[in-house]
Structure 1
Amino acid sequence: MKRIILITTAAALIIFQFACSKKQGATAPPVDPPAVQKPEPYPGLPLALTNGSNKKLEIYDPTVTDWNTAEAKKWSWSPTTTLGFSVDEINRFSGGTDFKLRKGIAVISDNNVAAIITYPAGQRVWSKVISGNLHSAELLPNGNIALAASDGNWVRVYAASQGADNATYAEFPLGAAHAVLWDPETNVLWVTGQDQSNNAHILTALSVGGTDAQPELTELKQYRVTLPTAWGHEISAYYGNKNLLWVTTNGGEYVFNKSTKALTMAPTNNLTFVKGIGNQPSGQIVLVRPDANKNPRPQVSCSLNNWSTSTIDFYTAGGQWQGSRTVNGACFYKIKIVYDNYQ
């Protein structure tokens, strides 16, 4: 009889515990968490980046998902005496502020150095130490080089076609000049900067006249527009549509229509402080934005300065974020599609 009572009591206790657990919201046994989505390869042209952390220009393959592997980095460059550069130029080079590839020749700007090199060999074609905080470079079809200097407040065209050490240049005054891009369709040099007479932040176009040896620069004011937000920065080709350009400022990012002169918000939700932007021929958008301007700041980020990043972001043509590539310890300032056509 005692045994029956014990069995009955134990059964009642089990039933009570089960009822209490149901009352407290007990759930079924936990299942494994969903697998973390692996980075996807992004078919497209290689991407050139200026890296201040190791003072090199680097080119990465977007189809490789881990950019910290040797497989991802396809090319890197810095000036050396073997490549034909002076010790002064080597010591001043800090990783670059711009890189553009044009038919087997690349142009480079750095804070105090500008250069034209063969690609991919990297041999010196022309170079010069130039003060003024150089922010952008462009190779003109005749072999001359255009430069924008933000502290120098000018855009210049150097007669680089006339020799490796030629120092002749034409100058156009432009406050906080940040970008130069040649447009073979309209034969103009697009630039961003500030009108020093009224402090307006502008996008405009320059005509390159004169001769190869004695260039001249003249503004074509019919192309001038006031930027929607202050401090114009980048101008890039919009591959797939020759009538459009990418334009960024500290306050936003835009698509410029050459025909209508309209600046409309870029698909990527008008991000601020975008230092470099471009699109693959497929339409995919790639950009760099300083880690200091991201909220929250990424765990892996550039610690060298507040205008660079360790991460490259990828977006669909419609502006939807797809993913990113991060390089540990990198400080990327500018990004360029490695495509030797101007547009």
Structure 2
Amino acid sequence: MKRNLILCALFTAGLIWSCGKNNTAEPPVVKPPFVSKPPEAFAGFLTVLTNDASKKIEIYDPTIENWNSAEAKKWSWAPATSLGFVTADVSTFGGGTDFKLRKVPVWNSAEYAAITDNSFAAIVEYPSGQRKWSKRLSGNLHSAELLPNGNVAIAASDGGWVRLYASSQGPDQEYYAEYPLISAHAVLWDPTTNVLWVTGQHSTTKAHVLTALAITGTDAMPELTEIVSWRTTIPSAWGHEISPYYGNSNLLWVTSNGGEYLFNKTTKSFSLAPTAGLTFVKGMGNQLSGQIVLTRPDYNKIPRPAMSCGLNDWSTSTVDFYSSGGQLDGTRVVNGACFYKVKLLNSNYQ
């Protein structure tokens, strides 16, 4: 859990790995060297970062080279009583673990964001930040997804579940459907296949899998069921992120502690991402140009960047930009920041 002290094993070979927001023991992996490059102006969607240091969700403009300048930060958010949240929500929020912007047809196609933090989940109007639905929850929440009908899916790694809350029914609605999934880390709605993609660990085989859940029932009383035919073992352990591949709806970005991959829905197979060799990637996506944007912990970069997150071992002060072929284009650094996950500000599911 992000706020918990997590014990990480030291192996005799001298390899150390970060558990980063998951208190389950994890296998050692090779960590490739990290070489920073000077920033350039990068066109594309704005970048959304969850910042453990400021305890806010922050949005930055990649066309601006200096992210420490006032003009680079375009938006920031944390729960506040003036936004409709209670004091306990404000004190619980620690910077976020996920943010997804969506246009919701049942709410006049207005834009709303689904947000999680370790013990908190919310739907907020964008850009006002006003509360639409929220709930404090235990379980180390890692990911959220807002469905077209206004219900919200949440993955909890320590809780070992994926839940679908009937948030469409009101701001304080507590009814939910639950699918048990060990170390659940990601949820992503797919309008092409009408499934909810998730990562986790199979309860019987302990395999680390990408799988898909069907949503049935009603808006007020939804149900979740695994579509077993979609279940696929991830090439390396501890699946983490799922993101859309903008420009090709047949592909998904999938990351784990051991690598990053492209999942082909047609063949139900994984291939190495262009940035193959990176480990512990916490957030990953692509601009329409093909440029890849990702975050990975400073702890897992060799050498560790001079400006790095000193708060924990699962965050970074640097956002990395790679070409579509996997070459490092450049970086953005925010002094003192502890970014956990990056998302692109795109309200489209794919």
- TM-score normalised per structure 1: 0.89
Q: Return the alpha-carbon distance in structure 2 between the equivalents of residues 117 and 38 of structure 1.
A: 35
Q: Which amino acid aligns with 1:275?
A: K
Superposed CA RMSD in Å reads 0.8
Where does 1:194-209 land on structure 2 (aligned, <5 Å)? 194-209=201-216
User: Which residue does the alignment assign to 1:171?
Assistant: 178
**In the alignment, does 2:61 pair up with 1:54?**
no
Number of residue-to-residue matches in the alignment? 307
Q: Give the Å deviation of 1:38.
A: 5.5
Q: Return the alpha-carbon distance in structure 2 between the equivalents of residues 90 and 144 of structure 1.
A: 23
Where does 1:107-122 land on structure 2 (aligned, <5 Å)? 107-122=114-129
Task: List alignment gaps of at least 5 residues for structure 1.
Answer: 1-36
Q: Give the Å deviation of 1:40.
A: 1.3
Contact kept? 2:185, 2:241, Cα under 8 Å: yes
Contact kept? 2:38, 2:331, Cα under 8 Å: no
Where does 1:36-51 land on structure 2 (aligned, <5 Å)? 39-51=39-51
Q: Give the Å deviation of 1:196.
A: 1.4
Contact kept? 1:283, 1:316, Cα under 8 Å: yes
Contact kept? 1:155, 1:173, Cα under 8 Å: yes
Q: Which amino acid aligns with 2:181?
A: L
User: Which residue does the alignment assign to 2:301?
Assistant: 294
Q: Give the Å deviation of 1:236.
A: 0.1
User: Could you tell me the percent identity over the aligned residues?
Assistant: 67
Q: Return the alpha-carbon distance in structure 2 between the equivalents of residues 170 and 308 of structure 1.
A: 31
User: Which residue does the alignment assign to 2:34?
Assistant: none
User: Which residue does the alignment assign to 2:25?
Assistant: none
Q: Give the Å deviation of 1:96.
A: 0.2
**In the alignment, does 2:263 pair up with 1:268?**
no
Task: List alignment gaps of at least 5 residues for structure 2.
Answer: 1-36, 104-110
Contact kept? 1:179, 1:234, Cα under 8 Å: yes
User: Which residue does the alignment assign to 1:339?
Assistant: 346
User: Which residue does the alignment assign to 1:184?
Assistant: 191
Contact kept? 2:46, 2:60, Cα under 8 Å: yes
Q: Which amino acid aligns with 2:316?
A: T
Contact kept? 1:144, 1:160, Cα under 8 Å: yes
Q: Return the alpha-carbon distance in structure 2 between the equivalents of residues 331 and 147 of structure 1.
A: 23
User: Which residue does the alignment assign to 1:89?
Assistant: 89
**In the alignment, does 2:337 pair up with 1:330?**
yes
Q: Return the alpha-carbon distance in structure 1 between the equivalents of residues 98 and 40 of structure 2.
A: 27
Q: Return the alpha-carbon distance in structure 1 between the equivalents of residues 250 and 322 of structure 2.
A: 21
Q: Return the alpha-carbon distance in structure 2 between the equivalents of residues 341 and 189 of structure 1.
A: 15
Contact kept? 1:209, 1:215, Cα under 8 Å: yes
Q: Which amino acid aligns with 1:247?
A: V
Contact kept? 1:254, 1:270, Cα under 8 Å: no
Q: Return the alpha-carbon distance in structure 1 between the equivalents of residues 93 and 280 of structure 2.
A: 24
Contact kept? 2:67, 2:334, Cα under 8 Å: yes
Contact kept? 1:51, 1:58, Cα under 8 Å: yes
User: Which residue does the alignment assign to 1:128?
Assistant: 135
User: Which residue does the alignment assign to 1:284?
Assistant: 291
Q: Give the Å deviation of 1:197.
A: 1.4
Q: Return the alpha-carbon distance in structure 2 between the equivalents of residues 259 and 276 of structure 1.
A: 24
User: Which residue does the alignment assign to 1:235?
Assistant: 242
Q: Which amino acid aligns with 1:167?
A: E
Superposed CA deviations along residues 189-222 of structure 1, whole A, max 9, x for unmatched, are 0000001112110000000110000000000011
Q: Give the Å deviation of 1:269.
A: 2.2
Larger helix fraction of residues: 1
Q: Which amino acid aligns with 1:102?
A: R
Question: In terms of Rg, which structure is larger?
Answer: 1
